[in-house]
Amino acid sequence: MKKLFLNYTAMALVGLTLAGCSTVPLSGRKQLSLVSDDQIQNQATAAYKEFLGSPKTKVVTGTANAALVKKVGNNIAIAVNRYLTAQGLSNQYNFTWEFNLIESPDVNAWCMPGGKVAVYTGILPFTRNEEGLATVMGHEIAHAIARHSMEQMSNQYAMQIGAQVLGVATSGKNAIMQGLVNNAYGIGGQLALLKYSRSNESEADKLGLMFMAMAGYNPDTAVGFWERMASSKIGGSTPAEFMSTHPSDARRIADIQKLLPEARQYYKK
């Protein structure tokens, strides 16, 4: 009976995988897609609004840095939208972009599904200039365009099904998915952002490099930013949150350098 159950479970997971796959733009990688983009984006929008409205969150406005975050974000968003349209993919993305600078010593930045971006002031000493900021924001926007949150939630959902009797798991799909979204974005509580896998981080490095180049930022300058981030960890200091699941700094920089010839093809001053 146990073997029969495992066989049925395996068949169900294969069926779900075949029925729920999407393709990452530019990289062409196939990914598991079992949850609704609309539902994820609605939850992300609510979480972003809650985050911005929290007494603990200080949104920076009226400064040169705040204006620069919006400028760089909009430049990349325009370039990404142009690329998606050219590839016939624009109808798959219903993003409402928003870019905010947050007063915080944390060396961090993130982009929620649907294009909700936050950049923390703690990362600005490492970005230093507009192109450094484009490196960071291109990377974070790439996570959203590649639907890494959706992919992780889909993987968690598939695991839920494999761990339960198929009938019960299937009937609870909406509740499970809702719980995953709530957990990922901290609805009703403190915001808790997903930590991406190393493979997702590497993919975001690649797409982000291409996106910044499409937006008119020299991709060669990305190497300098990552080198500054790597040198900041000398002496055992804590790595930036958004770098915590990536391979070694040396590996990351080497991979980016290998991608530069491809990225330069998208670069127009």
Q: What phi, psi does 28 have (nearest 5°)?
A: 80, 5
Residue type, 107: V
Q: How many CB atoms neighbour CB 147 within 10 A? A: 23
Which of 98, 140, 151, 201 does the annotation list as catalytic?
140
Catalytic annotation present for 140: yes
- CA 129 from chain centre, in angstroms, equals 22
Give the 3-state DSSP-derived string for the chain, with helices as H, strands as E and coil as C.
CHHHHHHHHHHHHHHHHHHCEEECCCCCCEEECCCCHHHHHHHHHHHHHHHHHCCCCCEECCCHHHHHHHHHHHHHHHHHHHHHHHCCCHHHCCCCCEEEEECCCCCCEEEECCCEEEEEHHHHHHHCCHHHHHHHHHHHHHHHHCCHHHHHHHHHHHHHHHHCCHHHHHHCHHHHHHHHHHHHHCCCCCCCCCCCCHHHHHHHHHHHHHHHHHCCCCCCHHHHHHHHHHHHCCCCCCCCHHHCCCCCHHHHHHHHHHHHHHHHCCCCC
Dig out the tokens for 154 from the structure. Answer: 């889909």
**Active-site annotation, residues:** 140
